Chain A
Amino acid sequence: MSYTPGWIPELELTDKVIGSDTTLSRFISLSMGRKIVFVGMMIILVMIVLTIFAPWIAPHDPYKQDLSLSLQPPSSEYLLGTDKFGRDSLSRLIFGTRIAMFVGIVAVSIAASIGILLGLISGYYGRWIDQVTMRITDALMSLPTVVMALALAYLFGGGISNVMLAVGIAFSPLFIRVTRSQVLLLRETDYVTAARVIGASNLRIMFFHILPNTIPILIVLCTLQIGTAIILEASLSFLGVGIKPPGAAWGYDLRLAYEVIFRYPILSVVPGICITAAVLSFNLVGDAVRDALDPRLKGVLR
């Protein structure tokens, strides 16, 4: 008697996973198998399209002010209405995708670059280098990320590149920690000793032998952190230290809308939905990437 529990979608999915053995095909079958992951992928895909083609898709100029059109309700001309300054809400959301994606990806790249470099060095060399790096990292991690990013953005003085830098630095302790912990494990493996035996230099061992082994866990971390970076950028813009007006950022739009939230709720709700959907999508896809890259990592991250 074969027993097939139809109520567990994951079970059907494992069969598919066993059948295929490349990471890509495993990722595709995973994301197709879980509908919610598929939805997440689609949202990210839409975001990418909007990022690239924003000027052609947006119906109006997102920066053009016209006070005579201030706070228009949704109409066929302005699908989501207009904001306080008479700018088209929908166009601003579309251009906001650009900023969200851009800040998310660049900030995480900055964080990953800093984190991987410092993590590799401190994990590989150990001793005082490790002590110094890790104590500084501990100190930075004791601050809430939002507070640190806020302080840094204020220090650097807003603007898109400074926001990316602030978010990147605020996230780097996490990357340092994760990379270092992996390096500590990998440093003791036989193949690293073997690399030493054939006369490879320290740099070569770090970047050629150890780094590729940390990539799976770091890719997952990056995907998950992009979502968090988007939310952090929105928070900074909302608090007024992020994207400078009149820049079309979701967080800044939310701030403008918040002043009139009871009279024109749609202006607050839609950017909120955008932020939530973007973050959720990156988290879902990050989970799928993790499962595809290395099933053993389940539960190691997060």
Chain B
Amino acid sequence: MEHLLTVRDLKTQFDTPLGLVKAVDGISYNINDKEIVGLVGESGCGKSVSQLSVMQLIQTPPGKIVNGEVIFEGQDLMQVRSNSKEIRSIRGGKIGMVFQEPMTSLNPVLTIAQQMTETMKLHLQMEKHVAMKLAADLLDRVGIPDPETRLNDYPHTFSGGMRQRIMIAMAISCDPKLIIADEPTTAVDVTTQAQLLELLKEIIEKLNSALIIVTHDLGVVARYVNRIYVMYAGRIIESGTTKEIFGNPQHPYTVGLIKSLPRLDEPKKKKLTPIHGVPPNLVNMPTTCAFLPRCKNHTEECKKEPWPDLKLINGQHYVACYNYLETNQNEHLIK
């Protein structure tokens, strides 16, 4: 089956005074039409950089996409020059993006109307009054009350949650095939988080588009995504359907992530199990498994062999570990 977006062996590096940082080190993933995929990992593991690379938004220098294919609707975006007309027509037109910080993602000196209609004028060649009408309609759809009046307001008159709704409205304004949400709920409070994700899901279903949610919070995405990719130190270390990942996590890191989530169905007094240690420094990474220093299950093999490749273990479930846990060993984690 042809995927909507296929990323193959993407490598993005940053040349810093401290050395070469391999922020994204050969990741491959794909997303189908109408699918919701989660990209999960700790801070600094390359989640955002991988998404910016897909959109060709890495600043060069210091960053550089050194390798990889990004095939979107049959077209390799890596072959397109980073500021050409082609890539610009895809950005915003076919791929929409929602950012982490709603407080800073809107230009403070332009009204909401100016910023919203810009996309439509660029991609749909709309007349101003048509675009204004559509913008009001979109604001209404994302749940901003009194949209016609609010269109002429400046960003500072909106709360964080409302701004994120506006960002979502902007992202969907041109009927994109794919929406990339880069930690869309990190900067808003918990109740707003749930509302925003519900909204995103509802909109995706209406538009028949696909969604990539980038997040560090497994718990937040669990009920919305179809498939999950778990990233660690610039690589994907486990992937599979939500059921496979939550029901039968194989990589010790994924297991650690799930164990560190608070659960309502467990006794209150049970302590959460953290993952000890810190993520590795991305400068001068060892050739062995990057999770090795924090891993409790490591063997002698892990210390000698290079970082393992992803291995298919079951269905769509891939894991990058030499001694992944035996199937169903973690049954206690299955609901």
Residues of A within 8 A of B96 (CB): 197-198
A196 within 8 A of B: yes
B91:A196 contact, CB within 8 angstroms: yes
How many cross-chain pairs have Cβ atoms below 8 Å apart between A and B? Answer: 64
The answer to whether A198 and B104 have CB atoms under 8 Å apart is no
Chain B residues within an 8 Å CB radius of A201: 83, 88
Question: Please, which residue of chain A has its CB at the minimum distance from the CB of B99?
Answer: A190
Interface residue SS majority, chain A: helix
Contact A198 B91 (CB under 8 A): yes
| In the assembled complex, B184 has its CB within 8 A of some CB on chain A | no
> Residues 108-151 of chain B: 1 if any A CB is under 8 Å from the residue's CB, otherwise 0?
11100000001100110000000000000000000000000000
Q: Which one of A191, A197, A200 contacts B106 once the chains associate, using CB atoms below 8 Å?
A: A191
- Within 8 Å of chain A (Cβ to Cβ): is B55? yes
Check: B161 CB closer than 8 A to any chain A CB: no
- Using A190-B99, A201-B88 as known contacts, say yes or no to A196 and B106 having CB atoms under 8 A apart: no
Q: Tell me whether B123 and A199 are in contact (CB under 8 A).
A: yes
A16 at interface by CB-CB < 8 Å: no
The distance in angstroms between the C-alpha atoms of A70 and B251, with both chains bound, is 101
A67 vs B274: C-alpha distance in the bound complex, in angstroms? 98
Complex Cα distance, B91 from A273, in Å, reads 60
CA distance A197 to B178 in the complex (A): 13
Given A189-B104, A190-B105, A202-B83, A197-B110 contact (CB < 8 Å): no
Category for how many chain B residues contact A: 20 to 34
- Cβ of A276 under 8 Å from chain B: no
Known: A190-B99, A190-B101, A202-B83. A197 touches B55 (CB 8 A): yes
In contact, A213 and B109 (Cβ under 8 angstroms): yes
| Any A CB within 8 A of the CB of B37 | no
Chain A positions within 8 Å of B87 at CB level:
199
Cβ of A198: which chain B residues have Cβ within 8 Å of it? 91-92, 96, 118-119, 122, 170
CA distance A190 to B91 in the complex (A): 15
Q: Does A194 contact B (CB under 8 A)?
A: yes
Q: What are 14 A-B pairs at a CB distance below 8 A? A: A190-B99, A193-B99, A193-B105, A194-B167, A194-B170, A196-B57, A196-B91, A197-B91, A197-B96, A198-B122, A200-B118, A208-B110, A208-B118, A212-B109
Q: A190-B104, A191-B106, A193-B99 given. 12 additional CB < 8 A pairs?
A: A190-B101, A191-B104, A194-B99, A194-B167, A195-B118, A197-B55, A198-B119, A198-B170, A199-B92, A199-B119, A200-B118, A208-B118
